[in-house]
Structure 1
Amino acid sequence: MQAKAAAESLGITQRMLRHYENEGLMHVARNLNGYRHYSAADLRRAGRIRDFISTGFSTREIRAMSACLSDDGSGACEGGIEKLTQKLADIDRLRSELDARRAAVQDRLASLRRDLLSEAIL
């Protein structure tokens, strides 16, 4: 399958497919004319990469989990549970930090509104 059809089938852009390859996440065969040719295994790998990116993994993190991208064994990948558990902990930490920032902004906003209301009464 050529790049345009591959990208469309995955719901991503051709540029993203090239990015996966440039980052060393994929190695795609080329036809004699130099065009990339995506096999069914390539499409499954690209789909896994896309899914990891959509859940917050960086290309560096995904590269470290290359065993989770291949069809070899097609079951659980080595270290996959640990990596996903760590990502979940990172997301929870970020969420907690955002909740604290949100609360601080709400407090500041309430304070400013009180100040404006008291100035208007005077």
Structure 2
Amino acid sequence: MRIGELAGQAGTTTRALRYYEAHGLVRPRRAANGYRDYDEAELRVVREIRALLATGFALDEIRPFVACLRAGNPSGDVCPDSVSVLRRKLAEVEAYIERLEAVRGQLREQLGGAR
């Protein structure tokens, strides 16, 4: 499929696909005329990238998931490197939640004293 078709099926833009390609995450074949040509595997990769970006992952953190998919796994989160990234991200999120809860507590105290 051509880049516009992939963008449409993946719910993204051609610009985003070129950006993913520039970062080595998406690998199109090139037709004789130089056009990008994508197969169904790339659609899976792009959907995985978009889902991970929506969850707050950075492009560099996404690489192990893409590699896991390219290795033929049904999901990008079943390989050891992906699991490691997931654990690291979970620790970051939990630390952030703790900081937010502390801020919330402080704000409640301040509001309680302001009445």
Alignment of 1:12 with 2:48, yes or no, is no
Please tell me whether the aligned partners of residues 41 and 71 of structure 1 are also in contact (alpha carbons under 8 angstroms): no
Tell me the residue number matched to 1:84.
86
Equivalenced residue count is 113
The correspondence of residues 55-94 of structure 1 with structure 2, limited to 5 A, is 55-74=55-74, 76-94=78-96
Structure-1 separation of matches of 2:74 and 2:9: 21
* Corresponding residue SS for 2:70: coil
**TM-score, normalising length from structure 1?**
0.76
Taking only aligned residues, the RMSD between alpha carbons, in angstroms, comes to 2.1
Please tell me whether the aligned partners of residues 64 and 81 of structure 2 are also in contact (alpha carbons under 8 angstroms): no
Shift in Å, 1:58: 0.6
Shift in Å, 1:48: 1.3
Aligned residue type for 1:92:
E
* Corresponding residue SS for 2:57: coil
* Corresponding residue SS for 1:79: helix
Q: Highest relative contact order (Cα 8 Å, sep 6+), 1 or 2? A: 1
Aligned residue type for 2:25:
L
Segments of structure 1 that go 5 or more residues without pairing to the other structure are: 115-122
Shift in Å, 1:103: 2.9
Structure-1 separation of matches of 2:83 and 2:12: 26
**TM-score, normalising length from structure 2?**
0.80
The runs of 4+ residues in structure 1 deviating greater than 3 Å are 105-111
Structure-2 separation of matches of 1:3 and 1:36: 6
Tell me the residue number matched to 2:107.
105
Structure-1 separation of matches of 2:16 and 2:103: 33
Identity of aligned residues (%): 36
Alignment of 1:54 with 2:51, yes or no, is no
Structure-2 separation of matches of 1:72 and 1:55: 23
Please tell me whether the aligned partners of residues 64 and 82 of structure 2 are also in contact (alpha carbons under 8 angstroms): no
